[in-house]
């Protein structure tokens, strides 16, 4: 497809999101890069990486754990200690210095963890004691997931408090807003979906109950941040991290309808299998989900320029979020605008390994 002038202009033109005017409609996806330092704090190298990508209309930070309990991979950054706040501030300052905007993605992995990553080698927590298929990435290599411990009902307020504390830390770290990570089979998604939630208390069973924790988290976070600086990430039809739901359209329609009461800025949807096919089950519709929601819609998964232009031309999304393409193309916005060749990042550069494959990708 040849890009029309009108659609190019639109994708690359400023647009409002909450109180912000983004310089374009291209958003950098949260990308875990496993390059945090001591105390799970980031430093100057990470700030350089984000600063190189500040021409995105908005950067969503890599997922950042809200507590030690919320950690599920080696070398990921946290956002709950002063040291971590200071580290993140280097990144937000660097992005702001280039007139960019940056939200923090708040993350609790639930069962997608391992005792090696937990305080005192405790079991990871989850809605129900169901072991996920797959392996955890620990400091000493990949290890089989274990059967997690089901959270007691009395522990739920403590989980919400972890989100509140992390959201306060994100404010101190001068982020412009927060994105609640409710996608990809992590804790909030584990509560939402019936494959992973077999609880018999008020947080399991019916859709209303399964959505309760997520909605309580959103309600609590609106006491810390203005709702229009809050977004949420959802992956309704993805099976990432061994997640599934019998009726995703019903589940997520309920979630989005309920989210409307909070007037948050956006829902950010992974359309299809995370990093995989964009195939959508016949009984699911992202267009319908978007129509139910009273804020903005960010579309992600497998977008290239052609798809992004089509989505804008057909008004299927307000913003387009790119993940993998931002890894090796720090100036992705300029490259897309001018039709320059894009570089593909080899998978071995995705996680760990310091500056190589991280801050050393040239601008075109």
Coil vs helix vs strand at 298: strand
| Listed ranges 45-53, 115-123, 137-145, 316-324: which one lies at the site for ligand FMN (CB under 6 A) | 316-324
Q: Could you tell me the smallest distance in angstroms from the CB atom of residue 275 to ligand FMN?
A: 5
Q: Could you tell me the smallest distance in angstroms from the CB atom of residue 157 to ligand FMN?
A: 25
CA distance 250 to 229: 27
Instruction: Mark 191-230 with x for binding to ligand FMN (rule: CB under 6 A) and - for no binding.
Output: ----------------------------------------
Residue 62 or 245 having the CB closest to ligand FMN: 62
Backbone phi, psi, residue 193, to 5°: -100, 145
| Listed ranges 87-95, 161-169, 178-186, 254-262: which one lies at the site for ligand FMN (CB under 6 A) | 178-186
Is the CB of residue 270 less than 8 Å from the CB of residue 233? yes
Coil vs helix vs strand at 9: helix
Classify burial at 155, counting beta carbons within 10 Å of its beta carbon; exposed 0-12, middle 13-18, buried 19 or more. exposed
CA distance 279 to 276: 9
Residue choice 188, 217, 259, 270 for contact with ligand FMN (CB under 6 A): 270
Answer yes or no whether residue 109 interacts with ligand FMN by CB under 6 A: no
Using alpha carbons only, how large is the chain's radius of gyration in Å? 19
Residue choice 26, 59, 151, 183 for contact with ligand FMN (CB under 6 A): 183
Residue choice 37, 115, 227, 302 for contact with ligand FMN (CB under 6 A): 302
Answer yes or no whether residue 29 interacts with ligand FMN by CB under 6 A: yes
Going by C-alpha positions, the residue among 242, 240, 245, 181 that lies closest to residue 214 is 181
Residue 62 or 176 having the CB closest to ligand FMN: 62
Beta bridge partners of 268: 233, 298
Catalytic sites, residue numbers: 186
Instruction: Mark 65-84 with x for binding to ligand FMN (rule: CB under 6 A) and - for no binding.
Output: --------------------
CA distance 292 to 327: 33
CA distance 41 to 88: 8
Answer yes or no whether residue 322 interacts with ligand FMN by CB under 6 A: yes
- What would the two tokens of residue 196 be? 């992973």
Answer yes or no whether residue 100 interacts with ligand FMN by CB under 6 A: no
Q: Could you tell me the smallest distance in angstroms from the CB atom of residue 256 to ligand FMN?
A: 18
Residue choice 18, 23, 30, 137 for contact with ligand FMN (CB under 6 A): 30
CA distance 210 to 203: 5
Answer yes or no whether residue 331 interacts with ligand FMN by CB under 6 A: no
CA distance 363 to 335: 9
Count CB neighbours of 158 within 10 A. Answer: 12
Residue choice 46, 184, 197, 253 for contact with ligand FMN (CB under 6 A): 184
Q: Could you tell me the smallest distance in angstroms from the CB atom of residue 327 to ligand FMN?
A: 7
Helix (H) or strand (E) holding 65, with range, is strand 58-65
- What would the two tokens of residue 71 be? 């950690």
Residue choice 12, 75, 262, 350 for contact with ligand FMN (CB under 6 A): 350
Answer yes or no whether residue 187 interacts with ligand FMN by CB under 6 A: no
Residue 232 or 259 having the CB closest to ligand FMN: 232
Q: Could you tell me the smallest distance in angstroms from the CB atom of residue 177 to ligand FMN?
A: 15
Residue 156 or 298 having the CB closest to ligand FMN: 298
Q: Which residues contact 36 (CB under 8 A, 6 or more apart)?
A: 42, 46, 75, 76, 77, 78, 87
Coil vs helix vs strand at 149: strand
Q: Could you tell me the smallest distance in angstroms from the CB atom of residue 272 to ligand FMN?
A: 9
Q: Which residues bind ligand FMN (CB under 6 A)?
A: 29-32, 62-63, 105, 181, 183-184, 233, 270, 274-275, 300-303, 322-325, 350
């Amino acid at each position: 497809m040849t890009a029309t002038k009108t659609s190019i202009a639109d994708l690359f033109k400023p647009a409002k999101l909450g109180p912000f005017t983004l310089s374009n409609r291209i958003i950098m996806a949260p990308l875990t890069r496993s390059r945090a330092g001591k105390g799970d704090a980031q430093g100057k190298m990470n700030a350089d990486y984000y600063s190189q990508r500040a021409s995105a209309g908005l950067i969503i930070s890599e997922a950042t754990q809200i507590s030690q309990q919320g950690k599920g991979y080696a070398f990921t950054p946290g956002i709950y200690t002063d040291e971590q706040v200071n580290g993140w501030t280097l990144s937000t300052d660097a992005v702001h210095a280039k007139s960019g905007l940056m939200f923090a993605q708040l993350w609790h992995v639930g069962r997608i963890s391992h005792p090696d990553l937990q305080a005192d080698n405790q079991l990871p927590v989850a809605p129900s004691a169901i072991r996920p298929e797959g392996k955890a990435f620990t400091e000493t290599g990949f290890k089989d997931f274990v059967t997690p411990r089901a959270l007691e009902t009395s522990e739920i307020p403590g989980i919400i408090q972890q989100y509140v504390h992390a959201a306060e830390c994100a404010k101190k770290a001068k982020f412009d807003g927060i994105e609640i990570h409710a996608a990809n089979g992590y804790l909030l998604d584990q509560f939402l979906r019936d494959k992973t939630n077999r609880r018999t208390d008020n947080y399991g069973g019916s859709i209303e109950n399964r959505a309760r924790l997520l909605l309580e988290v959103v309600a609590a976070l609106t006491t810390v941040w203005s709702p229009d600086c809050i977004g949420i990430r959802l992956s309704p039809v993805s099976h990432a991290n061994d997640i599934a739901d019998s009726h995703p359209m019903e589940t997520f329609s309920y979630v989005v309808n309920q989210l409307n009461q909070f007037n948050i800025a956006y829902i950010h949807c992974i359309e299809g299998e995370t990093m995989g096919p964009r195939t959508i089950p016949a009984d699911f519709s992202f267009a319908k989900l978007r129509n139910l929601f009273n804020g903005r819609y960010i579309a992600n998964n497998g977008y290239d320029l052609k798809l992004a232009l089509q989505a804008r031309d057909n008004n299927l999304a307000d913003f387009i979020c790119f993940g993998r393409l931002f890894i090796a193309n720090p100036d992705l916005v300029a490259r897309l605008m001018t039709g320059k060749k894009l570089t593909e990042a080899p998978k071995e550069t995705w996680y760990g390994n310091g500056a190589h494959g991280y801050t050393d990708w040239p601008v075109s």
